[in-house]
Structure 1
Amino acid sequence: MGAITRGGQFLVKETKSEDIFTPEDFSEEQLMMRDSVKEFIDREVWPHKDRFEKKDYAFTEETMRKAGELGFLGVAVPEAYGGLGMGFVSTMLVCDYISGATGSFSTAFGAHTGIGTMPITLYGTEEQKKKYVPKLATGEWFGSYCLTEPGAGSDANSGKTKAVLSEDGKYYSITGQKMWISNAGFCSVFIVFARIGDDKNITGFIVENDPANGISMNEEEHKLGIRASSTRQVFFNDTKVPVENMLAGRGEGFKIAMNALNVGRIKLAAACLDAQRRVISASVKYANERVQFNTPISSFGAIRSKIAEMATNIYAGESAAYRAAKNIEDRINARISEGATHQEAELKGVEEFAIECSILKVAVSEDIQNCSDEGIQIFGGMGFSEDTPMESAWRDARIARIYEGTNEINRMLSVGMLIKKAMKGHVDLLGPAMKVAEELMGIPDFNTPDYSELFAEEKELIGKIKKAFLMVAGSAVQKYGPALDEHQQLLMAASDMLIEIYMAESVILRTEKLATNKGQENVKEQIAMAQLYLYKAVDIVNLKGKEGIASFAEGDEQRMMLMGLRRFTKYTNLPNVAALRETIAKKLIEDNSYSF
């Protein structure tokens, strides 16, 4: 591996393909773990999808207990507290393959292992960790996370739940209402956020679930999807919590919530991957079997186009998710080698790549929605029926764009965090942005470059679309300064450019590494997917770039920037998109599944 990168630096530094981690780099141990998780899901979850759809909450709990017995709930927990202590990439891998069959189980798993267990693992005292984490790691107890309130959704720090210290200073009394609480129906312990006095920031507490201690719940929520995921409103009425159950320090709850969300975002991206693989495989099988006009519908170009696009998006999602996961793991290991504790190292490692976590959350949650939507379309009328897995996949996918911070919040966060990093000097955006501005004033190079090497033009295009982002974002920051936060539509356009840059670069680098190791002839379909993804990414950068420029620039400045945008999104050799799709679809249809 090369030098350890910092979060957000992908925008201003060239990354070499040999320096990124790809799904083809999984170790034997990781592949064995992946296969055991797949076997568990195929045996315990997939055959019982109807039970989840019929809101069998008890079955969700039962299946979670089985996952705990096999060690899957403790993959991210250090061995000292009863877990498997696996690295960040391995925890992503488990989250990926355990989440493919149904959103109900995926949500229960994610809520328990992530926001239910992790805050104690990463912020708890030694006593708190010893008391609670081993039970959570094995599935003896289940965890739940009480942050959202009726008036505090995206604005998490505005919660009204109160914590009042007793006169003898031994406990806090918590009173308030929490909603959309996953796993509430069968959890043993809550992570509860409440405000002490007039504190600016909320505080976190570990609260054991005891109805005799002023804890009550509404009935299960009836939801569009994730139907057997237990979701309830929880009420705390003078609930007594020992002072030693405060998590981290007073007023540090907001920090806990934000850092838990960073991990949750990249894990949510992982949780949307195998769902896509399963939807694509089911769609291909159906298209091969379904005969219309005396021919399987998989032979029709319109269907083949859909299959190719679905496969390309999952391939790109895998590429970017595991690239970021390994960057986080390397950062964690570097901090541990410098003497940091597991807690400090993991917190800082994930925080470093918060931009990439937000990018992935948005991109992959939207891909699974599109994938399941096209799955319904390929199944036609049958896709709309509960007799096929498509309609439940589509309903389950819908929540992914809302939780762990809505995609709108995450879009604005990704650009906002990048600008903050630049201001702190962690990522040099100003220098490269000024170079782009100078380049716009210069005379363009009209020589025809040599594109004989694989991905030569594609990599040049990646460099150009980075310049397009720097041009738009740099000018916007100059114009608005700190007030840029108020221009949400501009931020949304810039974030779409940023997302496509990261996803497209990840897929090109993964495929270049693959071609180097296996030979171009053996990875024709992956090359086609990389080229197809980039083609679409360049189009989005062009569209969103125009939208952004038009929102703040006029006259000569606007003309100059639009001219630059055209230059930065122009192909010398436009790919034959129909032929790329055909190459991809042919392989999937022959293999009768997603087989990359």
Structure 2
Amino acid sequence: MADTIEKNVTRGGQFLVKETKCEDIFTPEDFSEEQLMMRDSVKEFVDKELWAHKDRFEKKDYAYTESSMRKAGELGLLGVAVPEEYGGLGMGFVSTMLVCDYISGATGSFSTAFGAHTGIGTMPITLYGTEEQKKKYVPKLASGEWFGAYCLTEPGAGSDANSGKTKAVLSEDGKYYSITGQKMWISNAGFCSVFIVFARIGDDKNITGFIVENDPSNGISMNEEEHKLGIRASSTRQVFFNETKVPVENMLSERGNGFKIAMNALNVGRIKLAAACLDAQRRVTSGAVKYANERIQFNTSISSFGAIRAKLAEMATNAYAGESASYRAAKDIEDRIAAREAEGTSHQEAELKGVEEYAIECSILKVAVSEDVQSCSDEGIQIFGGMGFSEDTPMESAWRDARIARIYEGTNEINRMLSVGMLIKKAMKGHVDLLGPAMKVQEELMGIPSFDTPDFSELFAEEKGIIANLKKVFLMVAGSAVQKYGPELDAHQQLLMAASDILIEIYMAESTILRTEKLAKAQGEDKVQEQIAMAKLYLYKAVDIVNLRGKEGIASFAEGDEQRMMLMGLKRFTKYTNLPNVVALREKIAEKLVAENSYCF
């Protein structure tokens, strides 16, 4: 069983150097009956309990956020990823992504509370806790009897998480630690029952994690609620610990393992954050389509105007691409977990290593989808015009709520640099062969290009060739940069950012092409013309981004003949034989949206 899974599962980062067949990826069209039922029950909860009371969240009704979380707990939604032996549903990674996706569409306030609790509030105990810790805390967290919060960020420790100053001092009798320090931007702080707190013991190089029950009489105090641009009803406070006593048995994992816990929690958080941005895009797109159909100007609905139709098409395309890539990665993670469990690895270790394997994809998704949801909400406001700027329409709050997604779970700048850095480290460890393919690209640059006319008779034949060439662009730019700068590459952040954007576009575009190819084979090309148009439209835009960022990267480190050769290669690798009619592609997508009066893919 394990051997079979291992053969079919691409390792993290290998998408860059290994051809993936459409049959080997998971898509939203592959949801099981159980998953579809789960999706529908989540949508019903969101429509009834969240969307119908959206104004309460915008008016900072923290109590309603808390009560809604309790209702989610009663429905079992807080324990989807928790093993059954600790009171959860024990569902697979794809199912946990699905719930995170559809429960997050109505309001960023609830989405943040849900994500903080189920992810960084509960998961560290589930994955790193002792059996006693899991039995004591996880069932209460899974049911919604208790809520969790995560105390990592400090005034002087944000992206540099391991630089925290909070101290943990062991008592003379060795029975407890006294924790003293200040934490900020703590989601769920106002109603949580237990904190995951990171503190440094002595002069340890790395921080240590602790499970701390929220007891004000034990040296725990808080500032008032923060007043934020968005996610207004998400409880966010500063938390102060003043010699807070924590039993030694509440240390999470081992001493000095806190930084590892924090980083692995962020890996899961990043892909879940991508999922949490998907239904928001669907709802904003649907709202924009409905408004465009109803809004009459110059004696016709504005949905008939090309400028509006272009926006709707782009919004839907980005949402479709985000779905395609997110669920592709989710199933890869689920399969990796299954492979490790089949080898006899514990569920804890299998899930940790499974997610860690795809940390590159998690960072890619976090960046791409968080930026797409911001763009989607921004265009939603534009389609609504002056009304979009009003609090009376949902676009304004959607835009404000979307803004935080580019900051938390590691800023998009950090994640961009991480994605390339992690890929290079994987290559150095021999987990991904970048050197061989990069050398082949160098040989190709020195050789004579082929003038044969390629066969584009099959669906996406040209597009797949372009994807393969975009991968060559990354190998050319990143490979040359590594040769030039070696271990000093980290200091060249703008170059890393350019390389990362190329990597992101490759993964997103390829995922969209593969999903659509699989769909076309299952349903017939004539039934999925709009999806084909979206896949081609996304790739067209991706090629432009790769071309632009490739030029920036090359110009930053190459000169003379080397630069000319690489720029010629870039031109060759970003060239279409048959340039698509982008206007016609957008028109086809928009026509379907307008006819269906919603996001319908």
Letter paired with 1:547: E
Aligned partner of 1:17 in structure 2 is 22
Shift of 1:5: 1.2
- Choose which of 69, 75, 78 in structure 2 pairs with 1:73: 78
1:549 aligns with 2:554: yes
Q: Distance in 1 between matches of 2:450 and 2:340?
A: 44
Q: Distance in 1 between matches of 2:345 and 2:308?
A: 53
Aligned partner of 2:258 in structure 1 is 253
For residues 86-145 of structure 1, the C-alpha deviation after alignment (integer angstroms, 9 at most, x for no partner) is 000000000000000000000000000000000000000000000000000000000000
Shift of 1:569: 0.1
For residues 142-179 of structure 1, the C-alpha deviation after alignment (integer angstroms, 9 at most, x for no partner) is 00000000000000000000000000000000000000
Q: Distance in 2 between matches of 1:117 and 1:342?
A: 15
Report matched runs for 1:166-245 at 5 Å.
Answer: 166-245=171-250
Q: Which sections of structure 1, spanning at least 5 residues, go unmatched?
A: none
Aligned partner of 1:131 in structure 2 is 136
- Choose which of 523, 535, 538 in structure 1 pairs with 2:540: 535
1:471 aligns with 2:479: no
Aligned partner of 1:397 in structure 2 is 402
Shift of 1:251: 0.3
- Which secondary structure does the structure 1 equivalent of 2:140 belong to? helix
Aligned partner of 1:436 in structure 2 is 441
- Which secondary structure does the structure 1 equivalent of 2:243 belong to? strand
Letter paired with 1:572: T
For residues 30-54 of structure 1, the C-alpha deviation after alignment (integer angstroms, 9 at most, x for no partner) is 0000000000000000011100000
Q: Distance in 1 between matches of 2:591 and 2:8?
A: 39
Q: Distance in 2 between matches of 1:79 and 1:415?
A: 37
Letter paired with 1:448: T
Q: Distance in 2 between matches of 1:4 and 1:186?
A: 41
Q: Distance in 2 between matches of 1:323 and 1:437?
A: 30
- Choose which of 564, 568, 574 in structure 2 pairs with 1:569: 574
Aligned partner of 1:593 in structure 2 is 598
- Choose which of 467, 484, 503 in structure 2 pairs with 1:498: 503
Shift of 1:497: 0.1
Equivalent pairs, count = 596
Letter paired with 2:39: R
- Choose which of 520, 523, 544 in structure 2 pairs with 1:515: 520
Shift of 1:448: 1.2
Report matched runs for 1:18-37 at 5 Å.
Answer: 18-37=23-42
For residues 268-311 of structure 1, the C-alpha deviation after alignment (integer angstroms, 9 at most, x for no partner) is 00000000000000000000000000000000000000000000
Q: Distance in 2 between matches of 1:325 and 1:230?
A: 29
1:454 aligns with 2:444: no
Q: Distance in 1 between matches of 2:487 and 2:570?
A: 25
Aligned partner of 2:412 in structure 1 is 407
- Choose which of 423, 430, 444 in structure 2 pairs with 1:418: 423
- Which secondary structure does the structure 1 equivalent of 2:317 belong to? helix
Q: Distance in 1 between matches of 2:259 and 2:415?
A: 17
State the identity as a percent.
Answer: 88
Shift of 1:447: 1.3
**Aligned-pair RMSD on alpha carbons?**
0.5
For residues 428-462 of structure 1, the C-alpha deviation after alignment (integer angstroms, 9 at most, x for no partner) is 00000000000000000011111011000000000
Q: Distance in 1 between matches of 2:224 and 2:52?
A: 27
Letter paired with 2:318: N
Q: Distance in 2 between matches of 1:532 and 1:505?
A: 12
Letter paired with 2:255: R
Aligned partner of 1:43 in structure 2 is 48
Shift of 1:192: 0.1
- Choose which of 89, 106, 115 in structure 1 pairs with 2:94: 89
1:348 aligns with 2:386: no
- Which secondary structure does the structure 1 equivalent of 2:464 belong to? helix
Aligned partner of 1:159 in structure 2 is 164
Shift of 1:514: 0.3
- Which secondary structure does the structure 1 equivalent of 2:326 belong to? helix
Q: Which sections of structure 2, spanning at least 5 residues, go unmatched?
A: none
Q: Distance in 1 between matches of 2:278 and 2:9?
A: 26
- Choose which of 266, 271, 275 in structure 1 pairs with 2:280: 275
- Which secondary structure does the structure 1 equivalent of 2:528 belong to? helix
Q: Distance in 1 between matches of 2:463 and 2:11?
A: 24
Letter paired with 1:378: I
- Choose which of 317, 330, 335 in structure 1 pairs with 2:335: 330
Letter paired with 2:114: F
For residues 204-230 of structure 1, the C-alpha deviation after alignment (integer angstroms, 9 at most, x for no partner) is 000000000000000000000000000
Moved over 6 A (4+): none
